């Protein structure tokens, strides 16, 4: 049972309100910063409050032997992808006493002694926003926008949702060389050869780049087990856990995303091509504390967010559709 904090330690509603007002620019950034287990494999675009149209240029321009007055052909093609940005809000009721003890532990009364009430209020609000970031981390790969939704999974379209839409629209296909459809399920016996075959089949321009294999963490477990089976001489405690895909010259690193657990999609891309957009700069994002009930406070926060890709050009991405 939570222990009531001493009056001299427990922040009042006014202290929470002042902390939210003073540090609101910091607090609105906490969810994105707290989602780092996912976002560390991606490129963030700050200052996004509306949809972003991102262009990629492709040209076959080349040098040739000099000929006076020879005219060239215009063969530059620019394609655009839209990074959809959505506006979200959070209304979270919390009992301050409970939150303080969650953050400071069972000895909150002792730990809080010596801390100002404003510092404790700041810690509590940051803790609530951090928990929102943990949910954001899980949602980034697989969220599906639902206008009337009430969870982070409903706020925006995650990367898998964007990929599935691109497959439906024909932007991603075997014919466009940016899709591989596996005919067999990945198992511990075939995982090493399967991923190596995919690696060898990438466009050479993609193979030359530092890139990630974004996948269900279970795929990496299978790979480690499969690698041990195919390389029995490897010392267990030295190289059992393989961070790189064999045959990639250490250029393809595993990116395990908890949000991809149980999905049938994984993809290979450089970090710069896997993007997310957020604001983090304007006053449109807010963090406020209000009181509507005697012992409960309400945290009201607003933020912008979206996820997607710069391009589906096969030089920068390969989507793998798993067999079920």
pLDDT of residue 74: 65
CATH of 172-272+313-321, one of 3.30.2320, 3.40.50, 3.20.20, 3.90.1570: 3.30.2320
Which pLDDT belongs to residue 118? 81
What is the pLDDT at residue 80?
A: 87
Find the largest Cα–Cα distance for the chain. Answer: 88
pLDDT of residue 246: 87
- 269 DSSP β-pair partners: 212
From first to last of its 324 residues, what are the pLDDT tens digits of the chain?
Answer: 444 444 455 788 899 999 999 998 999 999 999 999 999 999 999 999 999 999 777 767 777 787 777 776 667 778 889 999 999 999 999 887 776 666 555 444 444 444 677 888 898 899 899 999 999 999 999 999 999 999 999 999 999 999 999 999 999 999 999 999 999 999 999 999 999 999 999 999 999 999 999 999 999 999 999 988 887 766 544 555 678 898 899 999 999 999 999 999 999 999 999 999 999 989 899 999 999 888 889 999 999 999 999 999 999 999 999 998
Residue 166 is predicted with a pLDDT of 98
Q: What is the pLDDT of residue 100?
A: 66
Yes or no: say if 23 and 15 are a contact pair by the CB < 8 Å rule.
Answer: no
Can you give the pLDDT at residue 10?
74
- CA 177/CA 313 separation, integer angstroms: 9
Q: What is the pLDDT of residue 70?
A: 73
**What pLDDT is stored for residue 5 in this prediction?**
45
Write down the pLDDT at residue 2: 44
Buried b (16+ CB within 10 A) or exposed e, 184-207: eebeeeebbebbeebbeebeeebb
Read off the pTM: 0.87
């Amino acid at each position: 049972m939570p222990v009531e904090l001493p009056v001299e330690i427990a922040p009042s509603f006014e202290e929470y309100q002042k902390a939210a007002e003073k540090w609101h620019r910091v607090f609105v950034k906490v969810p994105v910063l707290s989602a780092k287990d996912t976002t560390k494999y991606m490129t963030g675009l700050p200052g996004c409050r509306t949809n972003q149209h991102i262009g990629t240029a492709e040209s076959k321009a080349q040098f040739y032997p000099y000929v006076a007055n020879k005219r060239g052909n215009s063969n530059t093609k620019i394609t655009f992808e839209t990074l959809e940005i959505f506006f979200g809000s959070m209304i979270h009721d919390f009992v301050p006493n409970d939150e303080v003890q969650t953050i400071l532990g069972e000895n909150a009364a002792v730990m809080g002694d010596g801390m100002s009430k404003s510092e404790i209020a700041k810690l509590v609000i940051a803790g609530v926003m951090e928990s929102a970031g943990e949910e954001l981390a899980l949602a980034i790969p697989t969220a599906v926008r639902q206008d009337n939704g009430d969870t982070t999974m409903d706020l925006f379209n995650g990367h898998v949702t964007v990929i599935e839409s691109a497959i439906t629209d024909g932007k991603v296909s075997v014919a466009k060389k940016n899709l591989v459809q596996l005919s067999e399920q990945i198992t511990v016996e075939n995982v090493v050869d399967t991923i190596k075959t995919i690696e060898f089949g990438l466009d050479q321009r993609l193979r030359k780049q530092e890139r990630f294999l974004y996948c269900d963490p279970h795929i990496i477990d299978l790979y480690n087990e499969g690698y041990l089976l195919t390389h029995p001489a490897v010392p267990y405690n030295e190289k059992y856990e393989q961070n790189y895909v064999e045959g990639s010259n250490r250029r393809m690193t595993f990116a395990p995303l908890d949000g991809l657990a149980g999905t049938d999609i994984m993809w290979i891309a450089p970090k710069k091509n896997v993007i997310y957009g957020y604001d983090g700069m304007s006053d449109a994002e807010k963090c406020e504390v209000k009181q509507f009930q005697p012992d409960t406070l309400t945290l009201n926060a607003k933020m912008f967010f979206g996820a997607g890709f710069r391009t589906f050009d096969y030089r920068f991405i390969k989507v793998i559709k798993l067999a079920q």
